[in-house]
Amino acid sequence: MRICVDAGHGGTDPGAIGRTPFTLKEKDFNLQLALKLEPELIRRGHEVLMVRRSDRTFSLGARARFANMHGAQLFISIHANAAANVSAEGMEVFHFTGSAQGQRFARRILDQMLQTFPDHKNRGIKEANFAVLRLTNMPAVLVECEFLTHPRQLEFLADDSNQQALAEAIARGVSESN
């Protein structure tokens, strides 16, 4: 399967910023995870298109156009969540409203993430009208890995071994959905 991996935000758009116990910009976490996800998908026989491999700015429309132009069969946007309430935590995956295929991918990806990290809160599968989900011509998911604004989860997201395990879980979820 040809999969487009989108490391959300980037360049002039930092996304969310975790500040306690240290600072981590969402754009940096997203790129680190996306770069770990690519070889995991390739190892499972998928062709991977990367929206970005460095700290560059892309509009939401440009991200979708890239996937559409290259005939991607699945679009995965990688993100970390944020909330005003620093106790908010958990993993969730979004798909476009009414997309049965998107819902199937979202369910399998979230299931694998929670099997890998069973102590994390399940925030569920959710429908959304996000531009990258709406403007893509293929099933699309937006993966929220955890909350940068929760101090313990910020440390979780910054850990290289956790990022690798997340990449493996997402790749397993994609492969199980075929």
What pTM, to 2 d.p., does this model score? 0.97
- Is pLDDT at 178 greater than 70 in this prediction? no
Query: Which residues have a catalytic role annotated?
Result: 144
The predicted model gives 88-104 an average pLDDT of 97
pLDDT, tens digit (0-9, with 9 covering 90-100), for 49-73: 999 999 999 999 999 999 999 999 9
Phi first, then psi, for residue 155 (nearest 5°) are -65, -40
Burial of 54 (0-12, 13-18, 19+ CB in 10 A): exposed
Domain ranges for the chain: 2-176
The predicted model gives 115-140 an average pLDDT of 98
Q: For 134, how many CA atoms within 13 A lie in the half-sphere containing its CB?
A: 8
- CATH of segment(s) 2-176: 3.40.630.40
pLDDT, tens digit (0-9, with 9 covering 90-100), for 9-50: 999 999 999 999 999 999 999 999 999 999 999 999 999 999
Helix (H, G, I), strand (E, B) or coil at 131: helix
- Of all residues in the chain, what percent carry a pLDDT higher than 90? 98
Structure confidence at residue 176 as a pLDDT band (50, 70, 90): confident
Q: What totals of helices (H) and strands (E) does the chain contain, helices first?
A: 6, 8
pLDDT for res 24: 98
- Mode of pairing for the β-strands spanning 74-81 and 2-7: parallel
